[in-house]
């Protein structure tokens, strides 16, 4: 537990989340001052679901501190308002913003290698979460943070759940009391039937790979939810981004297999990504056309 007197929240604001803002701050621990990020919430000023997600995130972060690819927790300030979650500051911000900065640059081998390593960091965090049966449910580039050395760390555990809480499969609560959901990153079994388990995060990992390959596009951007959720159930998948290799697209496509058990485990994803490094495979080229069935370019719908 930390106290308000240990924190100097001088800003700047570095993001805004569902609960409130995320700001830069310095944390005083004995004689040492550390740059941190703080997420704040004023319980009376936000919806109940939002405060619940804030508390859920705090609880999850305590459980998940043993892994280098999960954002480090320094502590909480719970006395008085606002309440703060104090976490490691990620100098390069979130992955989606970083991908946007690459849009006007030449993708060099060094950048490709960095992106593969980022994907491996995320798969490694998923592997760890799987051992604890924790499902993130909101894995997306906006929730992946990059440190000074471009190490990727999963942040934002507001929607995460422990699948032990309700057995092997868990059902989403009804719409009542539910905050906004990241529908475009969700597998069909979660979208249409509310079922989630660790392989739901593998689906979202495929969407993260797709975001990387498209340099931060939004999945199914032009389609309303009722259209793409039906399309997913019918077997349609996100299109192959321009300049994405077949090898990278096949990897993401496997994450989107309808049969949950057939999706690769996080360990398999790690092995496959390792091949991208050792065999000098690429994410970005103009290889064409793909040989996969059921692939519909959303722009043609």
As beta bridge partners, residue 16 has 21
Binding-site member from 87, 122, 191, 248 for ligand AMP (CB under 6 A): 87
Contacts 24+ apart (CB under 8 A), 70-73: 70/125, 70/128, 70/129, 70/153, 70/154, 71/145, 71/153, 71/154, 71/155, 72/153
Q: How far is the CB of 295 from ligand AMP (least distance, A)?
A: 30
What residue has token string 């555990």? 157
Please report whether residue 90 would count as binding ligand AMP according to CB under 6 A. yes
24 half-sphere exposure, CB direction, 13 A CA radius: 12
Closest CB to ligand AMP among residues 120, 140: 140
Q: Is there binding between residue 156 and ligand AMP (CB under 6 A)?
A: yes
Sequence-ordered list of residues with C-beta below 8 angstroms from that of 62, at least 6 positions apart, any chain: 73
User: Is position 14 an interface residue for ligand AMP (rule: CB under 6 A)?
Assistant: yes
Which residue out of 53, 81, 94, 138 is catalytically annotated?
138
Out of 23, 25, 39, 116, the residue judged to bind ligand AMP by CB under 6 A = 39
- Binder to ligand AMP among 9, 37, 73, 120 (CB under 6 A)? 37
Nearer to ligand AMP, 90 or 209 (CB): 90
Figure out which of the listed residues 74, 89, 128, 276 binds ligand AMP, where binding follows CB under 6 A. Answer: 89
Residue 38 CA to residue 48 CA, distance in Å, equals 20
- As a whole number of angstroms, the distance between CA 236 and CA 275 comes to 27
Q: Does the active-site annotation cover 290?
A: no
Segment interacting with ligand AMP, rule: CB under 6 A, options 137-145, 169-177, 192-200, 226-234: 137-145
178 within 8 A of 129, measured Cβ to Cβ: no
**71 makes contact with ligand AMP (CB under 6 A):** yes
Choose, by CB under 6 A, the member of 83, 142, 161, 184 that binds ligand AMP. 142
Binding-site ranges for ligand AMP (CB under 6 A): 14-15, 17, 22, 37, 39, 71, 87-90, 93-94, 142-143, 145, 155-156
Report the catalytic residues.
Answer: 138
């Amino acid at each position: 537990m930390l106290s308000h007197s240990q924190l100097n929240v001088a800003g700047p604001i570095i993001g805004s989340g569902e609960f409130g803002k995320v700001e830069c701050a310095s944390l005083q621990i004995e004689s040492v001052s550390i740059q941190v990020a703080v997420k704040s919430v004023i319980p009376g000023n936000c919806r109940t679901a939002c405060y619940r997600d804030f508390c859920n995130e705090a609880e999850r972060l305590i459980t998940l501190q043993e892994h280098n690819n999960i954002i480090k927790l320094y502590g909480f300030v719970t006395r008085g308002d606002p309440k703060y979650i104090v976490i490691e500051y990620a100098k390069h911000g979130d992955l989606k913003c970083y991908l946007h900065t690459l849009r006007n640059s030449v993708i060099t081998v060094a950048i490709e290698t960095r992106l593969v390593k980022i994907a491996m960091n995320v798969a490694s965090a998923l592997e760890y979460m799987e051992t604890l049966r924790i499902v993130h449910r909101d894995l997306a580039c906006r929730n992946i943070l990059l440190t000074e050395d471009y190490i990727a760390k999963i942040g934002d555990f507001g929607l995460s759940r422990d699948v032990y809480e309700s057995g092997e499969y868990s059902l989403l609560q009804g719409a009542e009391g539910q905050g906004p959901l990241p529908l475009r990153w969700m597998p069909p079994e979660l979208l249409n039937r509310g079922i989630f388990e660790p392989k739901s995060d593998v689906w979202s990992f495929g969407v993260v790979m797709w975001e990387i390959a498209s340099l931060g596009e939004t999945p199914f951007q032009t389609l309303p939810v009722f259209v793409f959720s039906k399309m997913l159930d019918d077997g349609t998948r996100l299109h192959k981004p321009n300049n994405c290799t077949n090898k990278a697209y096949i990897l993401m496509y496997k994450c989107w297999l309808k049969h949950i058990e057939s999706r690769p485990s996080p360990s398999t994803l790690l092995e496959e990504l390792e091949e991208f490094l050792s065999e000098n495979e690429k994410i970005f080229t103009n290889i064409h056309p793909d040989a996969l069935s059921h692939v519909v370019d959303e722009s043609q719908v």
